[in-house]
């Protein structure tokens, strides 16, 4: 038996640590720990609720915008305003742009190196790679010269002896299964995606002024449309948005999805690994009839228990009996005792660090061992993320979702149950990206139509002044970050923030166990994962990365006596 | 294993570029960096003789927006930086290895390149408790100090590393601290939440091209990008001077792109390159898209809110109190106090008033003969003035 | 009113020299203009909103007025400091800096008589009483702070020598936002001061009748002969 510690887990956002117990080449138990805290909930108290979006947006720079959206919605819910149609459309466009960007960057830059052996690409045949690329899609860059130039560049890079971000990777690991040519293709698209990703976020720059961290506004969006003015969003800017959307659809359909399916084809064994929790939760988003009408959402709201797709449960963020947070294993304390569960409106954020003083080797996982609280939906641990969203929408009968999911399953020749896995999670993200790119176009067309009809309004003015608010009110803003269900709860008293609580996707997925000892998604998904070499935790990061974690971490390997296993040098 | 590391010229030759191409490349690089052609020789030398400098990019209390911004750079693009310009040996956001292998990348670079590597830091360091940020079982403070000791140059990316940013806003629960307060060597502060992508790559390139850190102001910020106020370089400035202001979101003035001063824009108090370099490939910046600047590159900007008020809240008087509101209250109170004082004085000093009255004399019309009347009139003169006051 | 047969001899005293009077009125005008323009800069009013930017520059003129008048204010202030060394005894610096115990005692007397109204009669002092002197001493510091914060705000828009001297103030106070905050607050000190100042002019003339108001125009005050120490 060995205890493997991976800290920092890289290619994620934030600081995450995984400790896993390995027995007979398989993981039998796992512990997930968030090792950084900032206390933003404490900082928000006493501030102007209209400013909260800017503070909470800084929770995450990778899934930038989503916290801002959740925050303005929470305030709008509390003071009871709805936003104009154009504002809803601009928010939806920014939302979809974020999804397309984030999912592509996750696949190529955060996740691909778990599946793609960069070193093996050096010996690929450019001709064969070109043939392969042509067989997969109509993307323009498929010539032999393109691939041989890239290979040369890669070679001289490796020959320089300075491997930079690729140094000490797990190259040559037995879990890498791709043919050389697929590896070369993937490396080429790693670089293409790196260049392309800076284009899609320009949509945020147009409507929100910059990316990362574009601007939001309680009551609408801060940009104005004026088709008779160069100093506002006009035809030229809208044309740019249109062009970026067209390019994005092309990139997703001609590069990302073909790559995803090609790579997935070689890793079908991972359709049986990493399934983890059987419960899925999605708040849904992309309103088409206003935020108050979840039935009109493109991404549906609901919960699935025990992988039973025939029944989708209602979810209500305002119901104080549904969502509760626990701190039994988290470095916080509750006034009512650490086994209590609190609805976020009544939430408390009081630090109570009981962990070992660094430097340390192991966390005491019997006690508190993470900075994440443990959220539960009706006491159930839930997985959130693209897979949960696709499953909920699929189970609720969304035609668009059903179509793309069924098509992919058919192409890969796997049953629906294959979705409950590491591979399923990664595939669901790709399918969702395809939908998000299409919806981008749909919302864009609708926005143009609205402007054409003469409606240029982007802001609801009547509740802007705090004097028009009730003395006390509370609201909840539900949304879906690329990584899963996200919600902000706010209590406003005397026009100031009285309490503010966030339950973010990685809190659902990466949290420590609850007072009853039930594991959350990361921990559960690692159970049964094979580990070929204990020193190289490739399989662990594969499954963890399939969730697209939003913290930051590291991995250490320990033998049963708690000693560091000899460090492995990769030439 | 000690292989000779090729210079940038050598790697370009290996990729099939000629010396002429190389000189052209240097010219473009120099032009991009805003150099005159006379300094071209220096750039050529910098690229000819140096291998890709090793770089360690540390992450502490941050949101990764600086890393995300960095990869948005349009000139140079980040693939070229990773492959041709820098040897980015450690960055948790992009590196292939995790855990031990990741730490090995960091530790090897530090050990083998003492005094020669560049240290880039994203995020603040919590001094409240080492447990607030731990990586690989080590505290952020320890990792930073170890990495900073042998660094040739230290860059603080973003407002977190430069000023502490959002986590250091009141009450700063984790005692988030900017790195220049922790390490005892000069730090290039590149504030912003995040900084502009091209500013980030330009600063790294500056160090590489000129072999020295860029000229810094008193706050450690490169003058190249932080010497001008957003307001003074803003294209909406003429509207400010003309007194044309947005009065409410999406009003007619907003649709005409008037100045956002009255909506709380922090452009007048914020030093950054946003209005000139702009964001995401020179496309836009917050004001251009209709929202005021929130001042994200200024120290302590989170506590200068509320953002939609022209003046920040005055400490100790609640969030809606500006200096002007405090002043107005003080003035009203003063006027009230004076009224009270005037009434009290008239009551308390009635005796004095009566005595003054009694001192007064009646002045008779001048009769042209001189004598007592004139004297009396002269003596009474000041009392007349007093009488007039009543 | 019956005529009082008794004759009270009064003397005319030249208190405020011409430079002091000029300083006072220039200063008053500057403060008035600075407060009005400063307030407008902080709270611009909506006028001419239908015009194009190239047709008008009113806000620019307001700011120009503020900056130009600020220079007059500062040099006028510097002149007054100089005059504190060469002027007559009522203008001298030791009227404002209370360095002797009896000055503080007299200040307390003034508080008792004029502020708290605990006593009806008090000593009469020609020129500034010590409470007034002390108030002006505080005011001069506010002048100084206002000058410093003003030039600090101005420094980044100017290459001129004088404003550039104040660049270091900005980081010291925690950024431009805070300099602006203080600059606004000090403006309110001027306004409060002016209100009190005007009231006290009336108050003193009303109760003492010594020509307080006219003295700052003509320079003369009047005092009962028996009150004057020879």
Q: What is the pLDDT of residue A288?
A: 95
Please check whether residue B266 is in contact with residue B294, taking contact to mean a CB–CB distance below 8 angstroms.
yes
| pLDDT number for residue C175 | 87
Residues 6+ apart with CB under 8 A from A518: A381
Q: Quote the mean pLDDT of chain A.
A: 92
Supply the pLDDT for residue C128. Answer: 85
pLDDT at B378: 47
SS3 readout for chain C:
CCCCCCCCCEEEEECCCHHHHHHHHHHHHHHHHHHHHHHHHHCCCCCCCCCCHHHCCHHHHHHHHHHHHHHHHHHHHHHHHHHHHHCCCCCCHHHCCCCCHHHHHHHHHHHHHHHCCCCCCCCCCCCCCHHHHHHHHHHHHHHHHHHHHHHHHHHCCCCCHHHHCCCCHHHHHCCHHHHHHHHHHHHHHHHHHHHHHHHHHHHHHHHHCCCHHHHHHHCEEEEEHHHCCC
Of C161, C134, C148, C180, the closest CA to residue C38 belongs to: C180
Q: What percent of chain A lies above the pLDDT cut of 90?
A: 87
Domains and CATH numbers, chain B: 52-222 (3.40.50.700)
Q: Which residues of B touch C208 (CB under 8 A)?
A: 386
Whether residue B314 has pLDDT greater than 80:
no
Position A118 pLDDT exceeds 60: yes
Residue B23, pLDDT > 80, answer no
State the nearest Cα–Cα gap between B340 and chain C, in angstroms.
11
Burial of B183 (0-12, 13-18, 19+ CB in 10 A): buried
Residue B199 has pLDDT above 90, yes or no: yes
Of B247, B341, B382, the CB nearest to C209: B382
Average pLDDT, chain C: 88
Distance from CA of C105 to the nearest CA of B (A): 22
pLDDT beyond 80 at A483: yes
> Of the residues A506, A511, A520, A525, which is catalytic?
A506
ipTM (interface pTM): 0.93
**Residue of B35 and A81 predicted with greater confidence:** A81
Size of chain B, expressed as the number of residues it contains: 390
Confidence of residue B364 (pLDDT cuts 50, 70, 90): low
C64 touches B: beta carbon within 8 Å: no
Contacts of A113 in chain B (CB under 8 A): 96
Q: Are C37 and C63 in contact (CB under 8 A)?
A: yes
Q: Name the pLDDT band for A492 (thresholds 50, 70, 90).
A: very high
pLDDT tens readout for residues C193-224: 999 999 999 998 888 888 889 999 999 998 88
β-sheet bridge partners, residue A2? A22
Which helix (H) or strand (E) segment holds residue A493: the answer is strand A484-493
Question: How far C205 CA sits from the closest chain B CA (Å)?
Answer: 7
What's the rounded Cα separation, in Å, for the pair C28 and B52? 65
Asked if pLDDT for residue C112 goes beyond 90, the answer is no
**B44 has a pLDDT exceeding 70:** no
Q: Where are the beta strands (DSSP E) in A157-260?
A: none
Known catalytic membership, residue A96: no
In the residue annotation, A63 being an active-site residue is answered as yes
Question: What pLDDT does B380 receive?
Answer: 45
- For C181-192, the pLDDT digits (tens) are 999 999 999 999
- Which residues of chain B are within 8 Å of residue C196 when distances are taken between CB atoms? 334, 338
Q: What is the pLDDT of residues A351-371, one digit of tens each?
A: 899 999 999 988 999 999 999
Q: Is A223 a catalytic residue?
A: no
Q: Tell me whether residue A550 is one of the annotated catalytic residues.
A: yes
- B175 inside 8 A of chain A by CB: no
What does the alpha-carbon distance between residue A258 and residue A256 come to, in Å, rounded to a whole number? 6
Looking at beta carbons, which residues of chain B come within 8 Å of C60? Answer: 241-243
Which residues from chain B sit within 8 angstroms of residue C46, using beta carbons? 245, 247
Span C106-113, average pLDDT: 88
Q: Which residue of B has its CA nearest to A457?
A: B250
- Provide the chain B residues 77-96 that lie in CB contact (below 8 A) with chain A: 77-79, 82-83, 86-89, 91-96
Q: Which residues contact B337 (CB under 8 A, 6 or more apart)?
A: none
Determine B/A contact with 3+ CB pairs under 8 A as the test. yes
pLDDT at C158: 82
Beta-sheet strand order (sheet of A496-503): A472-481, A484-493, A496-503
Which stretch of DSSP H or E encloses residue A98?
Answer: helix A85-105
A213/B95 touch (CB, cutoff 8 Å), yes or no: no
Q: Which of B52, B99, B111, B161 to mutate to test the interface with A (most CBs of A within 10 A)?
A: B99
What is the mean predicted confidence (pLDDT) over A480-507? Answer: 93
Instruction: State mean pLDDT over A308-318.
Output: 95
Map tokens 């966030």 to a residue.
A502
pLDDT in tens, A393-442: 999 999 999 999 999 999 989 999 999 999 999 999 999 999 999 999 99
Confidence check: pLDDT of A558 > 60:
no
**DSSP state for residue A466 in the 8-state scheme:** G
**Span B114-166, pLDDT tens digits:** 999 999 999 999 999 999 999 999 999 999 999 999 999 999 999 999 999 99
**Residue A442: phi, psi to the nearest 5?**
-60, -50
> Which two three-digit tokens encode residue C81?
């400091």
Q: Do C43 and B310 touch (CB under 8 A)?
A: yes
**Is the model's pLDDT at B38 over the cut of 80?**
no
- Select the residue of B228, B269, B328 nearest C180 (Cβ to Cβ): B269
- The CATH number of the domain covering residues in C10-45+53-227: 1.20.950.20
Label residue C8 by pLDDT band (50, 70, 90): confident
Interface of B with A in 339-378 (CB under 8 A): none
B238, closest residue in chain C (CA to CA):
C53
Q: What confidence score (pLDDT) does residue A19 get? A: 94
Is any Cβ of chain B less than 8 angstroms from the Cβ of C228? no
pLDDT at C163 over 70: yes
Please report the number of interchain residue pairs, chain B to chain C, with beta-carbon separation below 8 angstroms: 181
- pLDDT tens for A156-206 read 999 988 999 999 999 999 999 999 999 999 999 999 999 999 999 999 999
Task: Supply the DSSP string of A214-227, one letter for each residue.
Answer: ---BTTB-S--B-T
Token pair for residue B187? 């730090």
Q: Is the pLDDT of residue B40 over 70?
A: no
| Length of chain A counted residue by residue | 571
When pLDDT is cut at 50, 70 and 90, the band that residue C1 belongs to is very low
The confidence score (pLDDT) of residue C53 equals: 78
Of B71, B166, B320, the CB nearest to A43: B166
Q: What confidence score (pLDDT) does residue B184 get?
A: 87
Cβ-contact A408, A390 below 8 angstroms? no
Assess contact for A515 and A548: CB atoms under 8 A: no
With an 8 Å Cβ cutoff, are C4 and B358 in contact?
Answer: yes
Active site (annotated) includes residue A473: no
In this predicted structure, the answer to whether residue B13 has a pLDDT above a threshold of 70 is no
For A497-542, write each residue's pLDDT tens digit.
999 999 999 999 999 999 999 999 999 999 999 999 988 989 999 9
């Amino acid at each position: 038996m060995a205890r493997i510690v991976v800290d920092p887990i890289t290619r994620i956002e934030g600081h995450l640590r995984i400790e896993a117990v390995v027995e007979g080449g398989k993981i039998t138990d796992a512990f997930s720990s968030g090792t950084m805290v900032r206390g933003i909930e404490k900082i928000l108290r006493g501030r102007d609720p209209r400013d909260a979006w800017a503070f909470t947006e800084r929770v995450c720079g990778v899934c930038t915008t989503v916290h801002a959206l959740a925050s303005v919605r929470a305030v709008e819910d509390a003071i009871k305003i709805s936003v104009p149609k154009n504002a809803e459309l601009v928010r939806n466009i920014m939302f979809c742009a974020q999804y397309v960007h984030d999912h592509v960057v996750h696949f190529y830059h955060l996740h691909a190196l778990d599946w793609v052996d960069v070193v093996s690409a050096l010996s690929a045949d450019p001709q064969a790679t070109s043939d392969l690329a042509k067989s997969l899609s109509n993307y323009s860059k498929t010539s032999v010269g393109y691939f041989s130039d890239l290979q040369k560049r890669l070679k001289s890079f490796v020959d320089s002896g300075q491997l930079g971000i690729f140094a000490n990777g797990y190259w040559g690991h037995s879990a890498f299964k791709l043919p050389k040519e697929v590896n070369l293709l993937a490396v080429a698209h790693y670089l293409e995606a790196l260049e392309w990703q800076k284009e899609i976020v320009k949509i945020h720059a147009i409507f929100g002024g910059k990316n990362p961290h574009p601007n939001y506004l309680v009551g609408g969006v801060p940009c104005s449309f004026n088709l008779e003015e160069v100093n506002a969003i006009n035809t030229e800017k809208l044309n740019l948005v249109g062009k970026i959307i067209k390019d994005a659809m092309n990139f997703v359909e001609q590069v990302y999805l073909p790559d995803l399916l090609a790579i997935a084809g070689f890793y079908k064994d991972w359709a049986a690994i990493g399934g983890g929790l059987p419960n899925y939760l999605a708040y849904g988003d992309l309103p088409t009839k206003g935020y108050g009408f979840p039935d009109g959402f493109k991404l549906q709201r609901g919960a699935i228990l025990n992988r039973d797709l025939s029944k989708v449960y209602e979810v209500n963020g305002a119901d104080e009996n549904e969502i509760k947070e626990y701190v039994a294993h988290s470095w916080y304390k509750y006034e009512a005792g650490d086994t209590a569960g609190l609805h976020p409106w009544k939430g408390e954020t009081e630090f109570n660090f009981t962990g070992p003083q660094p430097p340390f080797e192991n966390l005491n996982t019997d006690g508190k061992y993470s900075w994440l609280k443990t959220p539960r939906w009706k006491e159930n641990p839930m997985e959130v993320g693209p897979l949960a969203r696709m499953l909920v929408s699929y189970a609720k009968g969304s035609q668009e979702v059903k179509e793309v999911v069924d098509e992919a399953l058919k192409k890969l020749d796997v049953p629906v149950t294959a979705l409950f896995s590491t591979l399923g999670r990664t595939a669901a993200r790709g399918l969702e990206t395809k939908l998000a790119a299409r919806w981008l176009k749909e919302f864009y067309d609708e926005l143009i139509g609205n402007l054409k009809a003469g409606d240029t309004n982007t802001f609801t003015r009547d509740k802007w002044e705090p004097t028009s608010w009730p003395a006390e009110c509370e609201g909840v803003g539900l949304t879906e970050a690329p990584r899963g269900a996200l919600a902000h709860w706010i209590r406003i008293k005397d026009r100031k923030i009285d309490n503010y609580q966030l339950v973010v996707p990685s809190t659902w997925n990466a949290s420590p166990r609850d007072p009853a000892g039930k594991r959350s998604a990361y921990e559960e998904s690692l159970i049964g994962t094979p580990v070929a070499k204990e020193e190289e935790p490739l399989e662990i990061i594969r499954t963890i990365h399939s969730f697209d974690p939003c913290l930051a971490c590291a991995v250490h390997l320990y033998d049963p006596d708690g000693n560091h296993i000899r460090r492995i040098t990769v030439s | 294993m000690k292989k000779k590391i090729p210079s940038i010229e050598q790697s370009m030759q290996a990729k099939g570029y000629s010396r002429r191409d190389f000189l052209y490349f240097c010219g473009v690089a120099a032009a991009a960096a805003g150099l005159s052609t006379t300094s071209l020789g220096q750039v050529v030398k910098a690229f000819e003789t140096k291998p890709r400098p090793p770089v360690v990019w540390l992450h502490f209390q941050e949101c990764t927006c600086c890393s995300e911004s960095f990869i948005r750079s349009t000139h140079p693009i980040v693939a070229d930086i990773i492959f041709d310009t820098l040897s980015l040996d450690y960055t948790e956001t992009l590196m292939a290895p995790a855990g031990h292998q990741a730490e090995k990348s960091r530790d090897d670079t530090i050990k083998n390149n003492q005094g020669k590597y560049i240290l880039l830091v994203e995020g603040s360091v919590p001094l409240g408790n080492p447990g607030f940020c731990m990586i690989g079982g080590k505290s952020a403070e320890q990792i930073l100090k170890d990495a900073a000791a042998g660094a040739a140059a230290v860059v603080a990316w973003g407002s977190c590393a430069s000023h502490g940013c959002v986590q250091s806003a009141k009450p700063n629960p984790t005692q988030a601290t900017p790195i220049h307060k922790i390490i005892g060597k000069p730090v290039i502060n590149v504030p912003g939440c995040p900084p502009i992508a091209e500013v980030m790559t330009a600063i790294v390139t500056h160090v590489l091209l000129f072999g020295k850190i860029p000229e810094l102001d008193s706050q450690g910020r490169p003058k190249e990008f932080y010497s001008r106020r957003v307001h003074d370089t803003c294209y909406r400035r003429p509207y400010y001077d003309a007194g044309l202001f947005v009065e409410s979101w999406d009003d007619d003035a907003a649709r005409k792109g008037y100045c956002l001063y009255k909506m709380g824009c922090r452009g007048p108090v914020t030093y950054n390159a946003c209005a000139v370099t702009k964001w995401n490939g020179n496309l836009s910046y917050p004001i251009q898209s209709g929202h005021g600047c929130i001042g994200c590159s200024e120290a302590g900007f989170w506590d200068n809110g509320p953002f939609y008020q022209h003046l920040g809240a005055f400490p100790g008087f609640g969030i809606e109190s500006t200096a002007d509101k405090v002043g107005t209250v003080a003035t009203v109170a003063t006027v009230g106090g004076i009224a009270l004082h005037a009434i009290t004085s008239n009551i308390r000093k009635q005796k004095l008033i009566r005595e003054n009255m009694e001192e007064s004399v009646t002045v008779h019309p001048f009769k042209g003969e001189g004598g007592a009347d004139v004297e009396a009139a002269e003596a009474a003169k000041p009392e007349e003035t007093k009488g007039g006051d009543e | 009113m019956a005529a009082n047969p008794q004759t009270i001899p009064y003397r005319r005293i030249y208190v405020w020299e011409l430079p002091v009077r000029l300083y006072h009125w220039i200063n008053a005008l500057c403060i008035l203009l600075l407060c009005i323009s400063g307030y407008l800069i902080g709270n611009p009013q909506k006028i001419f909103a239908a015009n194009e930017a190239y047709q008008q520059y009113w806000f620019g003129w307001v700011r120009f007025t503020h900056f130009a008048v600020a220079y007059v204010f500062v040099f006028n202030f510097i002149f007054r400091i100089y005059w504190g060394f060469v002027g007559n005894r009522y203008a001298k610096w030791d009227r404002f800096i209370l360095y002797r115990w009896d000055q503080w005692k007299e200040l307390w007397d003034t508080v008792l008589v004029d502020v708290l109204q605990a006593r009806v009669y008090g000593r009469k002092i020609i020129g500034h009483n010590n409470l007034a002197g002390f108030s002006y001493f505080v005011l001069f510091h506010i002048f100084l702070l206002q000058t410093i914060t003003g030039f600090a705000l101005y420094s980044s828009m100017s290459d001129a020598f004088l404003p550039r001297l104040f660049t270091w103030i900005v980081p010291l106070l925690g950024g431009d936002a805070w300099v602006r905050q203080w600059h606004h607050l000090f403006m309110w000190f001027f306004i409060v001061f002016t209100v009190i100042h005007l009231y006290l002019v009336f108050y003193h003339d009303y109760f003492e009748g010594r020509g307080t108001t006219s003295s700052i125009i003509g320079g003369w005050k009047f005092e009962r002969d028996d009150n004057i120490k020879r």
